[in-house]
């Protein structure tokens, strides 16, 4: 059996490519919480965002850069403004990396960039030099590499390395390639540009054909020593390569590939849950590594085999990805100090007003359930973080229902300026609450998705609601947890509508309509 000899760097782009998934909009505190957990997980690089896209994005990158020890990357196109925005966002980083990209395929150059090959070469050269003047760690990516003319891409890569790029990334931007073709592309590049062997070769795969992880593995077999991926595989369209899958693949098949990563695999499950909760992207039950059923054995024949010898049907231990039972950590007599400590043990920094709100939630739940598990605490912590950034707060919800009658809801919400109340009617309490909130925010909202889950098992479990709405052709998501499912629904809907209002009518989030 070969033992691991070489290390593959893990570049996490959950906060950049992952955040580009429809409906995801993470606030700075949420980004920080995810970044801290990624740091704990042991990823080598965190790509924190695309600095030029908005002041909020720059703020998020800055906050992440100051919060973690690992390398923090900021993405930039080749224009001076882009590179300067990325530089500004990384001033406080202990280990900054500028990630410059430009498309190299004819279809992108002609129709998207409207640039000639000479202009692309010049842009790559200038941007990498500008980034290198700020930091020694510069990554360069050829967007749509797998559909690019190999000779031209080689020229661009040669130019980027000569300008100072220390990592060369060859993305399968549209998820088009297949493993043996990707190997040919990477081998061809190394043949044409021998200088590639003096920098880190990186792969970045999208999952449009369900091959992102297989292609990433092919890339590693062709010499890549950096893999770019996201937690739970979230990302644009069908998503990116799933980080937990590539890490566990390399760990489980280490005897075959002789490779290792720096990831602490026991942190995988918690990271997956945190990302799912804060992004609102639910993990499919049969997803490899982190799906609810990934380590469950329903069929009698499997259970028998597993009981006799785990290795009959299990190639990995559930413990190796941090999947333990939901342990009881606190009871109803626990105080605020104990709660703060339990949050800290779980990796959350919850202080001040957030802690006050979280404690109120905790007491409410503890009175009902008696015993509070780490899963409950994770849900409460995530919700307090979310609540901190929300412009509107749900102050009161009153529901009246009677057999044969429409349900009526009275909803009071508050923002910095004051409180307003509206009534709504509907087909059941949730529908009535939604219609009251819609009147308060005065938006043409279409409900796209409404999902309820339970944080833990049992009738007294904390309920978790995700709502996606469409406004003006764009989708916005909101999540909330509560012991009362109607309240969680109203809160999640309010958050989704508030996100829509802030995006579509900036500044109007200060106004409450009220009827």
Q: Footprint of ligand KIV on this chain (CB under 6 A)?
A: 17, 101, 141, 143, 169, 171, 173, 204, 206
Closer Cβ to ligand KIV, 146 or 438, answer by number: 146
Give the span between the Cα atoms of 360 and 511, in whole angstroms. 28
Stretch that binds Zn ion, among 14-22, 129-137, 151-159, 412-420 (CB under 5 A): 14-22
| Cβ closest to ligand KIV, residue 79 vs residue 252 | 79
Rg (CA), the chain: 24
- Inter-residue contact 60 to 26 (CB < 8 Å): yes
If one counts every other C-beta atom within 10 angstroms of the C-beta of residue 110, the result is 12
Cα(144)–Cα(176) distance, integer angstroms: 9
Q: Is 178 strand, coil or helix?
A: coil
Could you tell me the two tokens for 23? 């409906």
Spatial separation of the C-alpha atoms in residues 231 and 242, rounded to whole Å: 6
105 binds, among Zn ion, ligand KIV, none (CB under 5 to 8 A by kind): none
12 binds Zn ion (CB under 5 A): no
Which of Zn ion, ligand KIV, none interacts with 101 (beta carbon under 5 to 8 A by kind)?
A: ligand KIV
- Closest to ligand KIV by CB, 17 or 267: 17
Closest approach of Cβ 513 to ligand KIV, in Å?
39
Burial of 190 per CB tally in 10 Å (0-12, 13-18, 19+): middle
- Residue closer to ligand KIV by CB (options 161, 381) is 161
| Residue 20 C-beta: closest distance to Zn ion, Å | 8
Pairing assessment for the beta strands 407-415 and 45-50 based on DSSP bridges: unpaired
The reply to whether 19 sits near Zn ion by the rule CB under 5 A is no
**Which option in ligand KIV, Zn ion, none does residue 167 bind, with CB closer than 5 to 8 A by kind?**
none
Cβ at position 60, least distance to Zn ion in Å: 18
- Picking from 395, 401, 376, 355, the residue whose alpha carbon sits closest to that of residue 481 is 376
**17 lies in the binding site for Zn ion (CB under 5 A):** yes
Toward Zn ion, which CB reaches closer, 19 or 354?
19
What's the token pair of residue 84?
A: 């300067």
Stretch that binds Zn ion, among 11-19, 111-119, 252-260, 325-333 (CB under 5 A): 11-19
Nearer to ligand KIV, 143 or 470 (CB): 143
CA distance 379 to 358: 10
What are the residues facing 47 on neighbouring strands? Answer: 73
Partner interacting with residue 233 (select from Zn ion, ligand KIV, none; CB below 5-8 Å by kind): none
Sheet holding 393-400: strands in order across?
Answer: 393-400, 407-415, 418-426
Count of residues near Zn ion by CB under 5 A = 1
Q: How far is the CB of 141 from ligand KIV (least distance, A)?
A: 4
Cα 390–Cα 391–Cα 396 angle in degrees, nearest 5:
85
CB of 212 to ligand KIV, least distance (A): 10
Three-class secondary structure of residue 281 per DSSP: coil
For Zn ion, give the closer residue by CB, 169 or 479: 169
Would you tell me which residues interact with Zn ion (CB under 5 A)?
Answer: 17
């Amino acid at each position: 059996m070969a033992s691991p000899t070489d290390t593959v760097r893990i570049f996490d782009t959950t906060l950049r490519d992952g955040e580009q998934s429809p409906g995801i909009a993470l606030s700075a505190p949420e980004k920080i919480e995810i970044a801290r957990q990624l740091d704990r997980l042991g990823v080598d690089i965190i790509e924190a965002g695309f600095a030029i896209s908005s002041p909020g994005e720059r703020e998020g990158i800055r906050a992440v850069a100051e919060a973690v020890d690992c390398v923090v990357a900021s993405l930039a196109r080749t224009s001076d403004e882009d590179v300067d925005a990325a530089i500004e966002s990384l001033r406080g980083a202990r280990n900054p990396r500028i990630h410059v990209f430009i498309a190299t395929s004819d279809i992108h150059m002609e129709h998207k960039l409207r640039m000639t090959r000479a202009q692309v070469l010049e842009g790559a050269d200038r941007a990498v030099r500008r980034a290198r003047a700020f930091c020694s760690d510069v990554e360069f990516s050829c967007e749509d590499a797998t559909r690019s003319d190999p000779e031209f891409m080689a020229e661009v890569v040669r130019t980027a390395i000569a300008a100072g790029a220390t990592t060369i990334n060859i993305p399968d931007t549209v998820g088009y390639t297949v493993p043996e073709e990707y190997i040919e592309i990477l081998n061809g590049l190394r043949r044409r540009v021998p200088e590639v062997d003096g920098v880190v070769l990186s792969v970045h795969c999208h999952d449009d054909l369900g091959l992102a992880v297989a292609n990433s593995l092919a890339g590693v077999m062709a010499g890549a020593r950096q893999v770019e991926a996201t937690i739970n595989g979230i990302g644009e369209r069908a998503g990116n390569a799933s980080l937990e899958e590539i890490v566990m693949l390399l760990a489980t098949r280490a005897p075959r590939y002789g490779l290792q990563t720096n990831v602490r695999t026991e942190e995988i499950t918690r990271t997956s849950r945190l990302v799912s909760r804060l992004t609102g992207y639910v993990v499919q039950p049969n997803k490899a590594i982190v799906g609810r059923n990934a380590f469950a054995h329903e069929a009698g024949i499997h259970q028998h085999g597993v009981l006799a010898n785990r290795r009959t049907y299990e190639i990995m231990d559930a413990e190796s990805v941090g999947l333990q039972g939901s342990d009881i950590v606190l009871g109803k007599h626990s105080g605020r100090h104990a709660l703060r400590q339990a949050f800290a043990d779980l990796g959350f920094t919850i202080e001040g007003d957030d802690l006050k709100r979280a404690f109120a939630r905790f007491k409410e739940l503890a009175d009902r359930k008696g015993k509070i598990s780490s899963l409950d605490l994770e849900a409460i912590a995530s919700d307090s973080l979310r609540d901190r950034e929300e412009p509107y707060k749900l102050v009161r919800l009153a529901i009246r229902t009677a057999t044969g009658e429409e349900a009526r809801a009275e909803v009071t919400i508050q923002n910095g300026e004051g409180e307003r109340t509206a009534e709504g009617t509907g087909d059941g309490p949730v529908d009535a609450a939604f219609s009251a909130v819609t009147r308060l925010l005065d938006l043409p909202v279409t409900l796209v998705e409404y999902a309820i889950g339970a944080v833990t098992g049992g009738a007294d479990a904390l309920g978790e609601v995700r709502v996606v709405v469409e406004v003006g052709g764009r989708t916005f998501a909101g999540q909330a947890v509560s012991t009362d499912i109607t309240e969680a629904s109203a809160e999640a809907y309010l958050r989704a509508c508030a996100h829509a209002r802030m995006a579509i009518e900036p500044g109007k989030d200060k106004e409450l309509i009220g009827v």
